[in-house]
Structure 1
């Protein structure tokens, strides 16, 4: 449905999430059609996208503003640029320690990494990423588009350099030394700001890695505790055969050992949290990327992986003991 009349220069109504979703699906539908393809001249391709877009919205009975072809083209470019940046953040997040993280945790961390870059703003196209990420057509289009953008930037830089050289050649005198000094000094602040942004993003990512590692260690300890309780319960419900005094003595000694351990645990104070890797964040070390800081962080995460592997082995070993005792109990039952 058309929106109310507005001045010709007024900005169009913002796209709704359902429109973004349908636009991506329409783009894939047209691009994956071997007859249409994505390499067409003019607006022919997006005319087909608009037709598929309008048809699907009509089927969904969605009430939205009329979207002309240039608007659809511009919106898809906006979506693709944001999704391309998010793909880079998601791939970077996947390269770090993943212990104990589900796909939803990985998506959440990638969104946080994307939004930690000030110029990106909030990421509003997660559903579009789910639609486009596995498409070979979109991947090829994105690569081709990035190459074109890179060529345009290179040409723009060359034009600026040529214009600057022509201006210098036509000038009758060289610029004052103060001007050159100011131009030379302006690069460092810009580089410092960029470095600070990257440092903040890396620090935020490391903090999320630490939390994920702590959650994994806590979950492993919980599994060990459950396995130990199952083993204790199996021991106390096991009965030795009447004609097997050795088995009866073995079970009695095991039960006494379990009771002794449980009494000691009841008298001891709560142990608190298990493993904490947050200490490196409070030691005042430089997180700007120097070798010592990177080594410290890498060692902490590596230690977390080793600890979790050890606790997982303990849990597996306890479960084997539970199964063994249960099997012996069944065999000894009259």
Structure 2
């Protein structure tokens, strides 16, 4: 039948169309996914830098090698087989305010080290009068033990440490034999290769006590001014000091005199007498002018602090009025003084 033939033709056509439009299989999907990955690999390979051995040009270094500096340690002069010591001159004198140093040091660094060791031993405020010179041709010992020597001599107010060559001389006035022995032992322990000359004197137990200063006239007025002289005497328990051999006041004594001036100004214009004294070293041709200049320096400072100049007098009497024997260093130290009296 015509109708049946046409149906078959149409049906066969549709069968062929279905064959060519069939969905892609798994192989096609894999191929499609592989193409972008392959392109990415090709691009990465083109951009990658070639590997380079960065260690090829480095010089070979011995891993066990170390850097060592040449030894600059000073020789140990206290070693058993050390050569004989021979040091430059050095003198250290203790006084009421601190220490006066003179002599020679091999370098500015050694000089600064010595001053610093004294400050470490006695405090940063200790007064040091430095008259030392630098001479690179001299040697100096190790001063690390200097503090122990001066610590043993703490009760010797005029302790003198004098070094020259291979000899160390110790001097001053000790209050007891034990102190003298301890200072010598400390020096020998610090520098066993050196010759120690112990010239420290021991103050005699029977030495007469120092005579009190002459009583001054009562201060004018009443109230607080009635004790003016006693107040001044109390402030003078610490002696007024000057630069060695001169009449320039030390900073500590200037502060002391400032307090004395303030005490004097609190009373209605007292008369002030300043008298300078020395020990019996030298002669009157030296001592009287020196004592006079020191008394004048004290009077001038009081006036500069506001004390009425017309009511302050000064004079020097040299060694004529001692208050202690002049046969010991301690006695001489007491005789070197400045008295201030009010009326």
State the TM-score bracket (shorter-chain normalisation): under 0.3
Answer with 1 or 2: which has the greater Rg.
2
Which of the pair is proportionally richer in strand? 2
TM-score (norm: length of structure 1): 0.23
With a CA cutoff of 8 Å and minimum separation of 6, indicate the structure with the bigger relative contact order: 1
TM-score (norm: length of structure 2): 0.23
Which of the pair is proportionally richer in helix? 1
